[in-house]
Amino acid sequence: MAAKVIDGKAFAAKVREKVKEHVTRLVGEHGVTPGLAVVLVGENPASQVYVRSKGKATTEAGMKSVEHKLDETVSEEELLSLIDTLNQDDTIHGILVQLPVPDHIDADKVLAAIDPAKDVDGFHISNVGLLGTGQKAMVPCTPLGCLMMLREEHGSLSGMEAVVIGRSNIVGKPMAQLLLKDSCTVTIAHSRTKDLPAVSRRADIVVAAVGRPNMVTAEWIKPGATVIDVGINRIEKEDGGTRLVGDVDYDDVAKVAGAITPVPGGVGPMTIACLLANTVTACCRTHGLAEPEGLTA
């Protein structure tokens, strides 16, 4: 039987609706408007697109959106000074510095300068440590979106065998922590893993986050498993144009999987929805108000 398609776009729309309802309540009942500041350094075209859609989504959710576009040549000191100003600004509850930053800027230093309470990316070492020790943290948006889709699909994930392919700080490692927190048995596989297909075939849940187009094929998947594809790879078509594909060979894997996320329209839309959710969560925590249900890990 063909796999069920997990519609990330539709699910993200529901999450964004929930965020909007919570924002309306925060504004109406508490006089607080959540605010998100996004900082972009330089003119990376992909980053410009992401930043624009983050800003638009923030405004659509009824929140305050601030964009800081800095020249490619801005000094690390100036960027750190802007972060300091945003850390002190009570109208800003979330700060995101779009990565990558130019080579002359130390990204780790920049991320460490963000107030952990405003770190809606969940990249600050304090949040990494809190998540790793099972405490209340700000959680990176992409893995949070994957977790929400898995919970929606399965309810409880307890006891399930999960294989995360990829060990990045942004997706692979936090994804594994979240699955562990939900009581999965978790394996992190990567490029040096011996017999990757056999390891992947053990899984009830496969999360592919490696950045290699169409790498995961049907032989890697246990029949009926749920497959979450985090990859976004642009490849050339035979007619000379390009198209987006994931890390999973969708047509092949859909023949054996129980459920699968498409690319585009799977994980991607959930990432922005979770950024909005994290901004509301950060705002609620700062003001000591009840957090939105179903929008946190």
Residues carrying an active site annotation:
54, 98, 121
Calpha distance 152→142 (Å, rounded): 16
Residue closer to ligand GUN by CB (options 126, 185) is 126
Q: Pick the closer one to ligand GUN by CB: 141 or 157.
A: 141
**Can you say whether residue 51 is alpha, beta or left, with left for phi > 0 and alpha for psi between -120 and 50 degrees?**
alpha
Question: Among candidates 136, 207, 224, which has minimal Cα distance to 171?
Answer: 207
Distance in angstroms (rounded) separating the CA atoms of residues 270 and 276:
10
Q: Using DSSP bridges, classify how beta strands 205-208 and 94-97 pair: parallel, antiparallel or unpaired.
A: unpaired
Report yes or no: 129 and 175 within 8 Å, Cβ to Cβ: no
Structure tokens at 60: 């659509």
The whole-angstrom separation of Cα 260 and Cα 182 is 20
Q: Using the minimum distance from each CB to ligand GUN, give the nearer residue, 32 or 175.
A: 175
For ligand GUN, the closer of residues 144 and 221 by Cβ is 144
Q: Which residues bind ligand GUN (CB under 6 A)?
A: 96-99, 121, 141, 170
Q: Which two tokens stand for residue 133?
A: 């020790």
- Strand pairing report for 233-236 and 185-189: unpaired
Sign of CA dihedral 49, 170, 178, 217: positive
68, β-bridge pairs: 39
Task: With beta carbons less than 8 A apart as the criterion, state whether 140 and 170 touch.
Answer: yes
* Run of H or E residues at 91: none
Min separation Cβ 121 and ligand GUN, Å: 5
Residue closer to ligand GUN, measured from CB, 214 or 271: 271
In the complex, least distance from residue 52 CB atom to ligand GUN, rounded to whole angstroms: 14
